[in-house]
Chain A
């Protein structure tokens, strides 16, 4: 079984804790993205799975076997490096053939394997070129070809698309996804690009400061963020996180105060258990409905900046207490700078986070 399991993985460099107590399991055929800002420990986690870095504590289990003390050679894994790590003195074809030399197979068979992956990734015509003579996109495909040419326990990708331009990134994303779906191996992809994670992953693990903050499907992490960090990290434009004062709960609604304005927002019953005090209310920019003046329980703000985004319009507005709110409205809805906005948040896309940053949810 091609699975990866991390149990309480910790990595320290001197006194610096790079990864702390990370748990993660990747099933066979599943693609998990490690997503987070730079320096969050995602690459270190990947390198520990690969065996390029020794875990300070915890267990790494690949294909049902505990791999802690084993060097990369004995883990039978394939990895695509951020800078592709193509061997500069070898041709593209020889690069792809490199992982095959470990198995004692004949030249003809090696050539057949290379030809097969070269066809999949459209590299047929450049097999005799040197890595220095091919484009970034081709290098990326060669790196992927080198990884899939053999049959490893799992695949690891370290920021595989970060060096490509936007358009190429798009095509490569679907190409890699298509290739991976045929292989049914556990795959871990490290990225800092949420679009990449949301489109490629079966599940996403969001990391910050060496900790895994939340693991879930792309839908889950978007719709039910576990805490303020995940809420702010996933989704563009960023979720609005409004500081507020929690007053009480009743009738399926939470009463919170923004500045001096009391607003009743629909909220999960679990909020009832919350003691009155500071909370953060999270509302996606697309979750606001602009309503006429004098509607009850609106959040009010004044339009400051208008950014047309094509199909929709992004509005930066300022609340009376000085908070910045991003609102996305349909294109046909016209708003002028300086115009007051009255908005009601969609209850399904409104989250209440307690003072410790954790989402309050049933």
Chain B
């Protein structure tokens, strides 16, 4: 990592003590902010509490900015606008929903009361709800494994096809990238058409070859295959692009040296090519796994969760949005989030360990 040698600037001011009233006393501002926000959230209705929390955030942010400016922390100054937007639009809502998961709250009712861990206990152990949740989670796991491995395989093979320079490559590449650019709404709906038992292309082809009536979505296996195929078709180009970027970054002279040294194709791939794409493969795997956890749109469009294809993300949308069980949804979200973060860290740990080994 490049570290800009900091221009040694003598500290212009000493930091204010904790209780000193000063525009750059961020410690005091943070303390006040946290205490006031907590009180407001606990005591006041949500729509009033929101504004109070908002004012407190602004206060703390202002203190940080003044502090950074007075002490020449340019890093903080440059980073803070982005952090502010991320905080307002991502981190704050997350903390809010984390808070909500400890309350009983439904978005179509006014009442709200504190229930502690009851929501978590309910979604994990309740006779009716928990069974559905676990089932949806297992389905999601299955989709993650299937779609990600399909995307990685197809994406990797496509990338290998495009790895060399050849005439018209640019125009053919954009053809393969197009599925990624389609709106899921349109491509998903069109897949229902392709799979349609009466009018669809797939059924027409299979019917005219094998005879009889072919209905892909008739069984769980068929429905899952249909969803996995559509998802893999749309997102393999993403994997392809990342892998291709790794492939084209391999210096040409290494392949020339390998040709001179009469290295076999197999050994050449593992010793020369693979080290260049390993990081990007891990990145693709990471991104696609996280996306696969969120799989809902294609399920909604293709099966509406029928044939035992309900995923946790779609289940969550139903609970939170259609049944208005906001806090229960939040509890499920956090269990799911916890799993994704654990998985992510596992990936990063493995990726970094592999890098350190070599």
Task: Check whether chain A touches chain B (CB < 8 angstroms).
Answer: yes
Can you list 6 pairs linking A and B with CB atoms under 8 Å apart? A72-B256, A78-B260, A81-B256, A89-B272, A98-B261, A102-B263
With a CB–CB cut-off of 8 A, which chain B residues contact A71? 259
What mask results when residues 85 to 113 of chain A are scored 1 for a CB within 8 Å of chain B, else 0?
A: 10111100010001101100000000000
Q: B256–A52 contact, CB under 8 A?
A: yes
- Choose one: A73, A87, A102; the contact of B272 (CB below 8 Å): A87
What mask results when residues 331 to 347 of chain B are scored 1 for a CB within 8 Å of chain A, else 0?
A: 00000000000000000
| Given known A-B contacts A90-B271, A101-B267, A85 and B262 have beta carbons under 8 A apart | no
Closest to B270 in A: A89
Given A89-B272, A98-B271, A102-B264, 20 more pairs with CB closer than 8 A:
A50-B256, A50-B260, A52-B260, A73-B259, A73-B262, A81-B253, A81-B257, A85-B253, A85-B254, A87-B271, A89-B271, A89-B275, A90-B271, A94-B271, A98-B261, A99-B262, A99-B263, A102-B261, A102-B262, A146-B261
- Whether a CB of chain A sits under 8 angstroms from the CB of B358 is yes
With a CB–CB cut-off of 8 A, which chain A residues contact B261? 98-99, 102, 146
What mask results when residues 239 to 276 of chain B are scored 1 for a CB within 8 Å of chain A, else 0?
A: 00000000000010110111111111001000110110
The CA of A87 and the CA of B260, in the complex, are separated in Å by 13
Q: A89–B358 contact, CB under 8 A?
A: yes
Closest to B263 in A: A98
Give, as a whole number of angstroms, the nearest-CB distance from A302 to chain B: 52
- Whether a CB of chain B sits under 8 angstroms from the CB of A79 is yes
The CA of A81 and the CA of B253, in the complex, are separated in Å by 8
- Whether a CB of chain B sits under 8 angstroms from the CB of A77 is yes
Instruction: Please report which residues of chain A, range 97-155, place their CB below 8 angstroms from some CB of chain B when the two chains form the complex.
Output: 98-99, 101-102, 146
Contacts from B to A (Cβ < 8 Å) = 251, 253-254, 256-264, 267, 271-272, 274-275, 358
Closest to A52 in B: B256
With a CB–CB cut-off of 8 A, which chain B residues contact A73? 259, 262
With a CB–CB cut-off of 8 A, which chain B residues contact A83? 251, 253
The CA of A78 and the CA of B261, in the complex, are separated in Å by 7
Number of A-B contacts (CB under 8 A): 58
Give, as a whole number of angstroms, the nearest-CB distance from A71 to chain B: 7
Q: B260–A72 contact, CB under 8 A?
A: yes
Closest to B274 in A: A89
Q: A79–B272 contact, CB under 8 A?
A: no
Q: A85–B263 contact, CB under 8 A?
A: no
Give, as a whole number of angstroms, the nearest-CB distance from B261 to chain A: 4
Most A CB contacts (10 A, CB to CB) among B260, B262, B271 go to: B260
Closest to B259 in A: A72
The CA of A95 and the CA of B261, in the complex, are separated in Å by 10
Closest to A76 in B: B262
The CA of A319 and the CA of B275, in the complex, are separated in Å by 63
Closest to A73 in B: B262
With a CB–CB cut-off of 8 A, which chain B residues contact A77? 260
The CA of A81 and the CA of B257, in the complex, are separated in Å by 8
With a CB–CB cut-off of 8 A, which chain B residues contact A99? 260-263
The CA of A72 and the CA of B251, in the complex, are separated in Å by 18
The CA of A76 and the CA of B254, in the complex, are separated in Å by 17
With a CB–CB cut-off of 8 A, which chain B residues contact A81? 253, 256-257
With a CB–CB cut-off of 8 A, which chain B residues contact A94? 271
| Given known A-B contacts A52-B259, A71-B259, A72-B259, A101 and B264 have beta carbons under 8 A apart | yes
Give, as a whole number of angstroms, the nearest-CB distance from B265 to chain A: 10
With a CB–CB cut-off of 8 A, which chain B residues contact A87? 254, 257-258, 271-272
Q: A85–B256 contact, CB under 8 A?
A: yes
The CA of A77 and the CA of B260, in the complex, are separated in Å by 6
Closest to B257 in A: A85
Closest to B253 in A: A85
With a CB–CB cut-off of 8 A, which chain A residues contact B259? 51-52, 71-73
The CA of A88 and the CA of B251, in the complex, are separated in Å by 10
Closest to A103 in B: B262
